[in-house]
Structure 1
Amino acid sequence: MIRAVLLDLLGVVYDGDTLIPGAAAAIERLRDAGLPLRFVSNTTRSPRGKIIAQVAAMGIEVTDEELLTPARAAVEWLRNHDRRPHLFVHPDLEGEFSGLEGGSGNALVVGDAGEGFNHASLNQAFRALAAGADFVALAVNRTFKDADGQLSLDTGAFVAALEFASGRSPIVVGKPSPDFFLSALAGLNCPADDAVMVGDDAESDVAGALRAGLGEALLVRTGKYRPGDETRFDPAPTALVDDLAAAAEWILNRAAA
């Protein structure tokens, strides 16, 4: 039986500043059924407050405790390991890491730096690793759907470059890290195998959730989805559905069983 639902945001609930048709009603149906929701976004450009305000402007209320982002997971990791961040992230995200300046060691934190990805900044990050900083990646997504509707390089390509140059493997704190999915379920009194994930990324959202032990993971044909994605990664999606509205119908049919 399904007892909790994890939802990606970008590509599942909205595209850019546009709500995906049927998404708001689907979320309302899931809430009305008494299913606890967690929104697990892999965005590494926008701060939490901006994400919550963005979806609120679309008519969807998301509370602070319902939203999990890689930045929040990274802050927890930095505190637990007494590290101060050497940030290689988008300027909009830097405020999420305030108050962490007093750690006993350094950690390079890599996110989507946008136009900040260039040789000079990558080399500075490489030198931080060479000097012994821990290597923390907010996410390792290969691509994202850009404002023009086409796919663009995401953070994973630049993380891979630093990994190749340094010979160091990163600690990934966002999707597809199992800890990220399990952290989203913490406090819901729901075993992982009673939870379902809905996402548009067959690798990070779907295969990542299933490897973390979630019982079901649905891939939607919205957002960054491209035909054939459902066969490209292992484990494969539990089901391929048109959109969040279809995913909600699928979930509710099984939650009531």
Structure 2
Amino acid sequence: MIRAVLLDLLGVVYDGDAQIAGAAEAIGRLREAGLPFRFVSNTTRSPRSAILAQLAAMGIEVAEEELLTPARAAVEWLRKHDRQPHLLVHPDLEVEFSGLEGGSRRAVVIGDAGEAFDYASLNRAFRELVAGADFVALAVNRTFKDADGQLSLDAGAFVAALEFASGRTPLVLGKPSPDFFLSALAGLNCPATDSVMVGDDAESDVAGALRAGLGAALLVRTGKYRPKDEARFNPAPTAVVDDLAGATDWILKARRAETDSGDAL
């Protein structure tokens, strides 16, 4: 039985500052059906407050506890392990890490730093790693759909550069880390097998969710999706749909079929 839904944001609910057609209505239908859900975003350029405000401006009201980001997961990890972050993130995201200056040891935290990625910043992070700092990656996505509609390099390439140079393997806190998906579901009190993921990234969203044990993962043909993405990574999507509205149709139809099957028994 489908009991919970995880939704990506960028490329599924919105592109840039524009809502993807039908997304708000689809989210409303999930709420009306009584399906709890979480937004699980790998966005590492914007703080949570900005993401929530952006959604509200689109007419999509989201409670703070309904949004899980890698930055939030990183802050929890840093506090739990008493680490002081050396940040290689977008300047807009630095506010998320305020108040963590007193840790007993250092941890390099890398996200999508955008224009802040340069030789000097990467080399500083490299030297921290060589000196023994922990290595924390907010996400390892290859690409994202940029404001101009084209694909741009995401943080994954820069994480790989530091991994190669330092010989260190990062702790990945965002998608496709199984812990990220399972952390979102823990707040919903839902086993992985009873949940569905909806995303536009066949690797991080879809294959990652299925490797984490989720019962289904749907790939939408919006956002960063490109033809034949569904055949590029394993496991393959449970289904490929046009958009979030189509994903909602699929989810609600599957729930009805499960309910009818149970009633028949």
Shared fold (TM-score greater than 0.5)? Answer: yes
**1:204 and 2:193 are equivalent in the alignment:** no
Aligned residue number for residue 162 of structure 1: 162
Aligned mates of 2:195, 2:9 — CA distance in 1: 17
Amino acid at match of 2:181: F
Aligned mates of 2:196, 2:85 — CA distance in 1: 33
Count of equivalent residues: 257
Shift of 1:187: 2.7
Aligned residue number for residue 254 of structure 1: 254
Aligned mates of 1:17, 1:91 — CA distance in 2: 19
Aligned mates of 1:99, 1:115 — CA distance in 2: 25
Amino acid at match of 1:67: L
Amino acid at match of 1:2: I
Q: Determine what percentage of the aligned residue pairs are the same residue.
A: 82
**1:120 and 2:120 are equivalent in the alignment:** yes
**1:40 and 2:57 are equivalent in the alignment:** no
Aligned mates of 1:211, 1:95 — CA distance in 2: 32
Aligned residue number for residue 16 of structure 1: 16
Q: Deviations over 1:114-161 (max 9, x none)?
A: 101111111111001011100000000000001111101000000000
| Contact 2:37/2:188 (<8 A) preserved | no
- Superposed, which structure 2 residues align to 1:99-178 within 5 Å? 99-178=99-178
Q: Name the TM-score, length of structure 2 as normaliser.
A: 0.96
Aligned mates of 2:189, 2:81 — CA distance in 1: 27
Shift of 1:164: 0.3
Aligned mates of 1:106, 1:189 — CA distance in 2: 34
Aligned mates of 2:69, 2:164 — CA distance in 1: 26
Aligned mates of 2:11, 2:165 — CA distance in 1: 32
**1:74 and 2:74 are equivalent in the alignment:** yes
Aligned mates of 2:103, 2:255 — CA distance in 1: 45
SS of 2:235's partner is coil
Aligned mates of 2:65, 2:186 — CA distance in 1: 11
**1:195 and 2:195 are equivalent in the alignment:** yes
Aligned mates of 2:217, 2:145 — CA distance in 1: 21
Aligned mates of 2:236, 2:88 — CA distance in 1: 33
Aligned mates of 2:37, 2:255 — CA distance in 1: 13
Amino acid at match of 1:233: F
Q: Please, which runs of 5 or more residues in structure 1 have no aligned partner?
A: none
Shift of 1:186: 1.1
Moved over 2 A (4+): none
Shift of 1:172: 0.2
